[in-house]
Structure 1
Amino acid sequence: MFRKLVTSVLIIVVLAGAFAGWQFFTANTAFPQKSKYLYVYTGHATWPEVLKSVKDSDLVKSPGMLDLLATRLDVPEKLKAGRYEIKNGMSLMDITRLLRNGTQAPVKLIITKLRTKENLAGFLGRKMELDSMDVLNYLTNPDTLQQYGFDSNTVMAMIYPNTYTYFWNASLSTVFEKFYGEYKKVWTDARRDEARKLGLTPIQAYTLASIVEEETNRLSEKDTIASVYLNRLNKGMRLQADPTVKFALKDFTLRRIYEKHTQVESPYNTYRNMGLPPGPICTPSVQTLDAVLQPAQTNYLYFVAASDFSGHHIFTSTFGDHVKVANDFRKAQDVEQQKRAAKDSLKKAIY
């Protein structure tokens, strides 16, 4: 009788162990997606908090077994802050090893066009463990920017559209060191020489490229638009660039720039101020920068969008010719505006 009891207990123990082992080494994720992310926050990298996050996010089917395994393998003592990718089909052992080794999933920051420091701060705050206000303070702090050779007006000239890879909990200094590294890669000796021949510093060339970037998406016209602005600078004329007015007003939805808009008091308003604005108005592509550094050789001083709204521009050398094509474009804008107003009225009447 005693032997049967012992045998039964041993069988139960073996079966329990086998069941536990089965749970440890087989798929245990509880979500249908390809993967989910587990965030372990800096300063809050305690196992109870992480386990609560695992439960709240329905990451695994057996959080209690994960707790048991992780505790046995010293995860609570070795836990590091970070962003961990939990792939569908992972076992509890896979997840435990991931956390124990601190194997983070990198974050890819794909920067295309940003316009303001606030845009950059918000972008980093959404993608990383950075507080957007901390980023904004960094972008306006003379002491932190001086080491890179920028100030609060010019700091965005350090940012080039590209894909940057970081750990989710990377520090601000780490983030900006990589930005600065890309800046130095872009500004080769050849590009610096091209800027120098045009009488521009790298920051000024970037600033002009930012205006050209906002003027058109057509790469084929960017070097010609650049030539217009360079010609105006060389003649001591105001740039009178509409995108700088939008930037000054912080209203990027404006379809038309009226005289009332051009009266805004701002160092970025090139209708009122001579020369380039104090800093860039967006993050231009390297292709646009090259269009500025290698401008077309023209005597154009004016350009206006074509009245067929094709995205092309008409370039002129005299004010008289410019007035003619500008009037054509304004008339076309009036017609388009009337059409939009009629459509809006019809929608309101229907709904």
Structure 2
Amino acid sequence: MNKKVIFSIIAIVLIAGGIIGFNYYQKIFGNNILKSGFLYIKSSDKLEDVANDLKEFIKDQEDFLWVAEKKKFSTVKGGKYKIEEGMSNNDLINLLRSGNQTPIKISFNNQDTLEKLAGRIATQIEADSTSLIKAFKDSAFIANKKITEAQMLGYFIPNTYEFFWNTTGEQFRDRMFKESNRFWNKNRLEKAKKLGMTPNEVMALASIVQKEAAQVSERSRVAGLYLNRIRIGMPLQADPTIIYILKQQNGQDFQVKRVLYKDLKIKSPYNTYLNRGLPPSLIAMPDISSIDGVLNYERHNYIYMCVNVEKLGYHAFASTSKEHSRNAKKYHNWLNKQGIRR
């Protein structure tokens, strides 16, 4: 075989090898990501599920699976991953293998029941509402914490928190208890002690303040009024506790725009017209402003309040029953004019 033929064969082999090598290089290190975005991987997902979810991001699904096989990558870790345009299959697989997911922000407030809280959180993390409520109502956990199920809601302090998307119900619950312990720092505990209250009792009163005072600016004043009633041995006579009872009896969607006289006679440990002192537990999830409103209550002589019809959304406060009677008469006349019967 002459030299010319040999050189030609060698050239063909080198070119073919170069093409094959370049194709392999492109599969592994070439740009295979079409656009940036977030990939959500469920804890139960297999590699094939991930490849299917990646369809909107990658140019070639088969190349991704081929590189994954070569890199012996088969076990995926659940979570939320940031996919960047221009990444290679190698970059993508290294990211998924590392489990270096992107944290998410979880926020919640004013969830009046554990069920509503579970529903709210389930829209933000992988865990569904069923697994969340199971974790919230775990009798063994509740017994270990020496609390009641009714007090459980008070350990979820409304705020914005950073979590991983694949957080389980138990992990979320446990983190919230740690956050609650952090919230009840030395300063807040000392203020609660001066009130002669435990944190759970502060939360119970704060939940009433939350429901009574829509305006944050009024919450410390309303708290001071209730504390004045406790101090003189007067029942709290808090309408929100009556509404709480009615919702317990008729369902959370039951609408109450006006508390009736007959409602005040309902026998329940939560009826603050019949029973003195605080109810057994909180009646709603209070904001931090309501909790701190109790701990930093306004000192005054007010004992009575009702809706201020001249400034709706606020209250008319009074120190004497005579003054309160005038305010209450205005309020009841306003209710009648509005046709509000229930």
The TM-score range, normalised by the shorter chain, is: 0.7 to 0.9
Aligned partners of 1:315, 1:304: CA distance in 2, in Å?
7
Aligned partners of 2:23, 2:135: CA distance in 1, in Å?
53
| Residue number in structure 1 paired with 2:52 | 52
1:65 aligns with 2:37: no
TM-score normalised according to structure 2 size: 0.84
CA contact (8 A) 2:40 2:81 kept: yes
Shift of 1:177: 2.8
Shift of 1:214: 2.0
Aligned partners of 2:268, 2:119: CA distance in 1, in Å?
24
CA contact (8 A) 1:75 1:99 kept: no
Aligned partners of 2:110, 2:17: CA distance in 1, in Å?
62
1:74 aligns with 2:72: yes
Distance 1:245-1:11 versus aligned 2 partners, 3 A rule: farther
Shift of 1:264: 5.4
> Which sits farther off after the overlay, 9-18 or 215-224?
9-18
Spell out, residue by residue over 1:121-176, the C-alpha distance to the aligned partner (whole angstroms, 9 max, x if none). Answer: 22232222323223223322332023333220111111112222222233444323
1:29 aligns with 2:29: no
Aligned partners of 1:68, 1:202: CA distance in 2, in Å?
57
Distance 1:35-1:271 versus aligned 2 partners, 3 A rule: farther
Aligned partners of 1:296, 1:89: CA distance in 2, in Å?
59
| Residue number in structure 2 paired with 1:118 | 115
Unaligned runs of 5+ in 2: none
Distance 1:133-1:274 versus aligned 2 partners, 3 A rule: farther
Distance 1:336-1:139 versus aligned 2 partners, 3 A rule: same
| Residue number in structure 2 paired with 1:11 | 15
| Residue number in structure 2 paired with 1:284 | 286
TM-score normalised according to structure 1 size: 0.82
Aligned residues: 331
Shift of 1:260: 5.4
Spell out, residue by residue over 1:2-55, the C-alpha distance to the aligned partner (whole angstroms, 9 max, x if none). Answer: 865664565355335435534544543345xx52222132xx342223223333
Distance 1:18-1:259 versus aligned 2 partners, 3 A rule: farther
Superposition RMSD in Å: 2.8
Distance 1:74-1:195 versus aligned 2 partners, 3 A rule: same
Shift of 1:232: 1.9
Distance 1:257-1:63 versus aligned 2 partners, 3 A rule: farther
Distance 1:121-1:22 versus aligned 2 partners, 3 A rule: same
Name the aligned partner's letter for residue 68 of structure 2.
A
Shift of 1:205: 0.5
Shift of 1:241: 2.0
The structure with the largest alpha-carbon Rg is 2
Distance 1:317-1:80 versus aligned 2 partners, 3 A rule: same
Aligned partners of 1:13, 1:261: CA distance in 2, in Å?
88
1:182 aligns with 2:179: yes
| Residue number in structure 1 paired with 2:137 | 140
Name the aligned partner's letter for residue 151 of structure 1.
T
Aligned partners of 2:6, 2:256: CA distance in 1, in Å?
89
CA contact (8 A) 1:28 1:61 kept: yes
Spell out, residue by residue over 1:306-351, the C-alpha distance to the aligned partner (whole angstroms, 9 max, x if none). Answer: 113442211012333223212222333444569xxxxxxxxxxxxx
Shift of 1:95: 1.6
CA contact (8 A) 1:142 1:151 kept: no
Shift of 1:70: 1.5
Spell out, residue by residue over 1:68-103, the C-alpha distance to the aligned partner (whole angstroms, 9 max, x if none). Answer: 112211220x42233323244443333211111111
